[in-house]
Amino acid sequence: MFLRWRSASDRRQQGLGRRVVYCPQEYGYGRSHTGAKAMSSLAVVILNYNRADLLADCLRSIYAAPTRCALSVWVVDNASTDGSAAMVRARFPQVELIVSPVNGGFAYGNNLALRAILAGPGASYVLLLNNDTVVPPGALDGLVEYLERHPDVGVVGPKLLLPDGSLDLACRRSFPSPEVAFYRMIGLARLFPRHPRFARYNLTYLDPDVETEVDAVVGACMLLREAVIREVGLLDEQFFMYGEDLDWAYRIKQYGWRIVYYPRVVVYHYKRAASSRRPIPSIRAFYDAMRIFHRKHYRAITPAPLNALIETGITAKELLALGRNLLLPPAARQVG
């Protein structure tokens, strides 16, 4: 069991005045209040499916600059057929490679590595990272340092930028409660992106360069304490693709941890690089994730007629998305 002492008085009552708290700015990176040197460790978990090209770019960016913490990188290959695993073995032999015989989805694949990390020597921090990201020098250290300075924060995510330089809106979100989801699904969030009520899901009314406590960051790049994973549990494998990061964040918040969007660290995201190759299954997974999340976290506290309306709305949006994509040329199809 992992205990998080909220105040100095809590620690004094338990006789734990010498609890180790990392404060790099005051004591130097990796040094505790007790004066003993402590090397933090970071495990990066990357899930891959048939994108050896993007995976190579991602790994190259990680190893382009040394980190101040001990680093291990785990790649889970979800039954790719494009030679991804062979590429990793040949070009990045230092990577811990797990080859799954089946493509069980995002949660399933990441959990393979998370179980191995938790069963082994462990790591101070674990970063979920998409294979379609590029990590600038210093970004990993910046995220780790943030958690070391803020012991009550369980998860931190960076500012994610898309190839055109715009913000990946998923990198800071509110939970899709029935109210929040309604404003988004009927288009009010798009019509009024600066409105603090209608634009709550993607928080577009907030300055993207301001550090903000949020409900959730995105699984494309999220750093967690290993202690949080041990306390809360692994990703929920009911979710094949999409929604599992929101579900994880919801459970993490239930345990009292804070989640923070930290824009001083920037990571680049080539979004939908994998899902755009299989748009129809990806669309189905996207809307299935909506159903699973609502049923798991909101159905029990939502009136039955409203539940029926929500389910009908999700199905209608799914059918519209499927129809719209079928009318587009393959290169233009996308999820959502």
Whether 56 contacts 87, CB under 8 Å:
yes
Answer with the residue of higher pLDDT: 293 or 18. Answer: 293
% of residues, the chain, pLDDT over 70:
84
Residue 49 CB coordination number (10 Å): 24
| Structure tokens, 205 | 């009314």
The one-letter amino acid code at 34 reads: T
pLDDT tens-digit series, residues 182-217:
999 899 999 999 999 999 999 999 999 999 999 999
Q: How many angstroms separate the CA atoms of 60 and 57, rounded? A: 5
Q: What's the pTM value of the predicted model, to 2 decimals? A: 0.84
Residue closest to 145 by CA, chosen among 115, 124, 161, 167: 124
Per-residue confidence band for 38, with pLDDT thresholds at 50, 70 and 90: low
Residues in contact with 272: Cβ distance below 8 Å, sequence separation at least 6, in sequence order: 334, 335
Average pLDDT over residues 118-144: 96
**pLDDT over 80 at 320, yes or no:** yes
Q: What is the CA radius of gyration of the chain?
A: 20
31 has a pLDDT exceeding 80? no
Backbone angles phi, psi at 127, to 5 degrees: -110, 120
For the segment 67-98, what is each residue's pLDDT rounded down to a tens digit?
A: 999 999 999 999 999 999 999 999 999 999 99
Reported confidence tier of residue 9, pLDDT bands at 50, 70, 90: very low
